[in-house]
Structure formats: structure tokens, C-alpha cells
Structure 1
Amino acid sequence: MKAYQIKIELKDSSPSIWRRVIIPADVTFKRLHDTIQFAMDWQDYHLYEFDIPQEQLRITNDEEAYEQFKYYSTKFKSKELPKAKDKREFISRVLERTIRKPQSVKIDKYLETYKELEYVYDFGDYWRHRVTFENVLEDYPYGYPQIIDGEGACPPEDVGGIGGYANFLEAWSDAQHPDHEAMRSWGEVQRYREFNIHEKNDLFKCCLKLKKTTRGQ
């Protein structure tokens, strides 16, 4: 089976948080999203998007944005956008980028062509990830992804982005910090934990194994 070796990095994280993963090639962006979520240890609570600026393409599970794009792109497909109806350029901004659903687009063309993608998870905390194509494997024996290397614990959900995570780590690590006990309790509720490659790979094998369904990969 053809597969890709990719590196997933949480941008601006310090110390660096990253995973090196092998993923079957013939999968959709929905499956790539699932892979990132499992590998990084996110909880899949929020909206996400992949940005491909070379093609003015946004791939997202943001249903509202998709429906807006679908409506306006159909309505103004064959005629010029009337300025009177777009005084604040709202429609123009909606139509700046094509929006597609992640389960409808496969990753192979984009990874092999552009070598690097940006994935944003949680539009509030705005976790930006760099997904880098590293290699092609022609004889990958599994139908599910596998982590082969990585470092760093995933931040807790809703911690407040990179800045909030830095504050969290300061309190988490310092027993003398006034918020130490509160952050310890909150972090445990949020399932904050060290990266464990064996645990993650067991999860991949159990939960992402060859799900070739009508919903897509």
C-alpha cells in the first residue's frame, strides 16, 4: 500500500511539539484531520481547516462557511457581482477562496504537489500546525496510520492558545506558584499528559483501522 511519511508540528510551541507519522496515501482530509487529532492528542471538540493558498482553497468542517460559499458561488456564478448588493464586500470575501468539505477531498495531490499544508484547529485558541510531506512509502503494510517519532505533550483544550499554554506550564511545573494546585486539578480533568507513542499507536490501530465507509476515509 502506498503511504506518506509526514511531520506534524504545532507552530510556535516551546518546547517544540511534533509527531512524525505514516499515513495511507489514498485518504481524505477528514482522515488526515482524524490522524492529527489522535497523534497530537487533541479531543476533537472544535472546528478546523486546512489552508491551501496556492489554489485559494479552504477545506473545513465549518458548515456555516461552506453553506455561505455554496449559496453565493451558485447565485453569482455566471454574472458579475452587483456592487449595490455588496457594499461592505462581504460576498466578495466569502468568494475569495473555494470552500470544500474535508470528507470530499483526497490528500494525495496536495501533499505531493505542495509538500506543506497548514492545519488550524479551534478558531478561538487558534492552534496552527505545519504538516510537511517527507517521503513516499510504496509498500506500507497497514491500513491505518502509525506514529514513528515525536516529542512534547499536547496542550489542554481551551487553555488559551500558545500564550495560555505558556502560563499553564509555568503554574503546572512550579509547586510554589499560587495557581499550581488549581492548574494541576484542571489539567488532570482536561486529560493533560505526557506523549506516549505506544499508547497513541494502539489507539490508531483500534480506532482508525481501515474505515472504508460511505462517509469516506
Structure 2
Amino acid sequence: MPTAPPAAETAVVAGTVHQLKVALRDVQPPVWRRIQVPSAARLWDLHNVIQIAMGWQNFHLHMFAKDWVEYGDHHSSEYDVTLASLLPDPGEWLAYRYDSGDCWDHDLVVEKIHRPAPKALYPRCSAGGRACPPEQRRPRGIRRPAARCHTRVTGSPAPNATSRRGVASARSSENHWPRPSSPRSTERTPGRRVKF
């Protein structure tokens, strides 16, 4: 089974921070977050940061995928792979699927890799837009073929897939959780603290 290259083979310098844009796929208007995570973070750590930043409750299985290699609950170990080894350069892309029943697919793109800011705490959510759809129940008006969910997370959506338009309702379209104005938002969430 293919594995990610060791951290020594990447251009990422120790002590750096990955800034990622996380966007929920097939949802209009867009639901997204900008997160900053230490480059040494494992994919398991990144999963926890995404859960907190997007407002998911971690009720379901998840997986990451890059170059047709899958990492997650039933795939290659996400405990052994770091951001630095898997995403060494800005512009690199990673797929994340949460809930294999509803298939909430996310695109993660490295916007930049930088040194940590003085006195800043990481990981953190620095910006975002709109609330995620409610978990454990499908929003009204959402219909799509069952085949949509059974495509590989790294592939494109099925050609007949119905877009999830209107998932974020008008009254919640400007909400996002946690509030990105707090640089310590992941630290202040009771019971959901992430450490590296």
C-alpha cells in the first residue's frame, strides 16, 4: 500500500504553520473556513480541528484522500502522516469526507506555509463563512442519487448529482461556528481541546 513521503523529503521547515482553506463541496452559498495548523500535525489532529471549525459533532466516520491513497478510520493510518509530509507546498490539495452516509465532502487547499506569529496559539480558525448543514438529519429539499455518495472521495461528483443548493438557510447563511474572530476558538470549546 502506498504511503506518504517521510517529512525529511519535504521542503517544509520545522516549526511552520499550514494555512488551509476548508470548503464544503456542492453547497451554495459556499460554506468554508480558514484554519491554521502546525505543519507537524498528524491527519488525526487535522480531523479534530476540522470537526471543531466546521461545527460537526464527530458522530460519523471520516477519511482523507490524496492521489488515490485514503487515510482514515478504515484506511491507511492517519496517525503516521503529517501535513508537512502530505502537503509540502502551497496550492497542494487534499480531500476530506465526513459521514459516509450523507457524504459531506470537503476540499482542503494549502493557501500558504509560514512561521508562527509571536504569541499566537495554534491550531486556530481565522475566518469562515456560513453554517454547516445540520448533522443527523437531511435538510429539506436535498435530493440526490444514492450513487453520488458512493463515488471515491478523490473523484469528481457523479454527473447526475443534484447540487445541495440552499443547504444553508437564509436565516443561518451568515452564521459560522466557532466565531473566527477568536484566535483561540479551538482552545475555548469545552471538551474539544486539540493538543499536538
TM range (shorter): 0.5 to 0.7
Greater Cα radius of gyration, structure 1 or 2: 1
Q: Distance in 2 between matches of 1:119 and 1:52?
A: 9
The yes-or-no answer on 1:154 pairing with 2:135 is no
The yes-or-no answer on 1:125 pairing with 2:107 is no
Structure 2 gap ranges (5+)? 1-14, 144-163
Alpha-carbon deviations, 1:110-148, whole Å to 9, x = none?
Answer: 112570000000000000000000111123344521122
Aligned to 2:137, the other structure's residue is in SS state coil
Return the TM-score normalized by structure 2. Answer: 0.67
Aligned residues: 155
Alpha-carbon deviations, 1:50-86, whole Å to 9, x = none?
Answer: 0112xx4110113xxxxxxxxxxxxxxxxxxxxxxxx
In structure 2, do the counterparts of structure 1 residues 154 and 169 end up closer, same or farther at CA, with 3 Å as the change threshold?
closer
Paired position in structure 2 for 1:58: 70
Q: Distance in 2 between matches of 1:193 and 1:158?
A: 21
Paired position in structure 2 for 1:195: 176
Q: Distance in 2 between matches of 1:121 and 1:200?
A: 25
Say what the alpha-carbon RMSD is for the aligned residues.
2.9
Q: Distance in 1 between matches of 2:137 and 2:165?
A: 9
Contact 1:41–1:154 (CA under 8 A) maintained in structure 2: yes
The yes-or-no answer on 1:208 pairing with 2:193 is yes
Among residues 31, 37, 43, which one is paired with 1:29 in the alignment? Answer: 43
Q: Distance in 2 between matches of 1:42 and 1:29?
A: 17
Deviation at 1:203, TM superposition (A): 3.7
Contact 1:48–1:121 (CA under 8 A) maintained in structure 2: yes
Alpha-carbon deviations, 1:172-216, whole Å to 9, x = none?
Answer: 86xxxxxxxxxxxxx9xxxx992152587544123435x2xxxxx
**In the alignment, residue 46 of structure 2 is paired with which amino acid?**
L
Paired position in structure 2 for 1:75: none
Q: Distance in 1 between matches of 2:77 and 2:58?
A: 16
Return the TM-score normalized by structure 1. Answer: 0.62
